[in-house]
Amino acid sequence: MKNSLKTLIALVATVILVSACSPRKEVRGYMADEKLISAIRPNVDTRNSVKSMLGSPTTVATFDNLNWYYYSKKSDQIAFFKEDITELDILAIRFNEDGYVTAVDRYNLADFKEVNPVGDKTKTYGRELSFFQELFANIGRFGTSGPQTPQAGN
């Protein structure tokens, strides 16, 4: 009888704690003004005019300065669980070498693809040390054997 009562109390407490967790809603990034975005004209606007209209981009292409991205997302997250992205908006502005806009593209949640990296390891040569070998490997390596006087060149 006592074990079932303890189990029931633990179950009720767990249900109450889990139900008390309300989803946390987050809005991050650049919230685009549709009028300003529609005002961007290819072959007319430049990097400076886009920056004055929209501000600095969220990110710039890695290897060149020809693509600017303005990124925003809305998501829900309950306690420590993985976030659920409910809305995603990416504005990609592409420039030519002279700095003029060539294209304005929009991407949303339907275009989103999650990338799962491969978990394989690159083989490296050397020793595999255990936790304790790594922890205690340097003991005595850097100690001095008594008082030493500085010498020239050290």
Element (H, E) at 134: helix 131-136
Residue 67's φ and ψ, nearest 5 degrees, are -130, 125
pLDDT of 110-153, one tens digit each?
887 877 888 787 777 877 888 888 888 777 776 666 666 666 66
Q: How far is it, in rounded angstroms, from Cα 15 to Cα 77?
A: 18
Confidence (pLDDT) at 146: 60
pLDDT for the residue numbered 95? 93
Burial (CB count <10 Å: 0-12, 13-18, 19+), residue 70: buried
76-103 as b/e: b if 16+ CB within 10 A: eeeeeeeeeeeebbbbbbebeeeebbee
What tokens appear for 45 in the block?
């606007």
Find residue 88's DSSP bridge partners.
73
List, for residues 62-118, the tens digit of each pLDDT value.
888 889 999 888 888 877 788 888 888 889 999 999 989 999 999 888 887 877 888
Return the domain boundaries, the chain: 22-114
Alpha-carbon distance values, 5 to 1, 8, 13, 15, 43 (Å): 6, 5, 12, 15, 75
- Check residue 121 and give its pLDDT: 78
